[in-house]
Amino acid sequence: MQTVRLTIPTSPDRVFAVLSDGWAYASWVVGASHIRDVDEGFPAPGTRIHHSLGGWPLMVKDESEVLEFEANRKLVLKVKAWPLFGGVVKIELEPDGDDATIATLSEEFVDGPGKLLPEPLIAPMLNARNRESLHRLADRAVHDDRYAGSSRA
């Protein structure tokens, strides 16, 4: 399992508001390129974001399913990039003082041929991708006023 952390200079409810907006997924998840649909009730467990990965003309239609969520605290997703891998991504938020959040993103391959890759080979790539995803999440949470004021959960 690969884990990265970032302190975001805003409250956990504002960060979670971005996480709860399935339509914003492609704006902060590195590799997601297009959102086709978001199940009603997202991010309730069992709901999905229907998205595409990659760039044209090599886009792969896929989906991510919510396994677990706790408002303003945690979102766990079953992610796929078939036929290469399936994984579990966990994003946890912890308050850091009055107006900051420690965001932790962990990812683990659990299905597909990608699971067989040695961790020393995939760790640098996953860590770089997930670190960039957290920075994009932070930018959206801090600078996009649509997420000010209340959580979407």
Which ranges of the chain does DSSP label H, i.e. alpha helix?
12-19, 25-28, 119-143
Domains of the chain: 2-144 (3.30.530.20)
Lowest-pLDDT choice from 9-13, 101-105, 123-127: 123-127
- Report yes or no on whether pTM surpasses 0.85: yes
CA distances from 63 to 26, 35, 55, 82, 119 (A): 12, 9, 16, 10, 24
The token pair at 150 is: 């209340």
Q: Find, among 144, 95, 138, 127, the residue nearest to 8 by Cα.
A: 138
Q: What are the tens digits of pLDDT across the range 89-120? A: 999 999 999 899 999 999 988 887 777 777 78
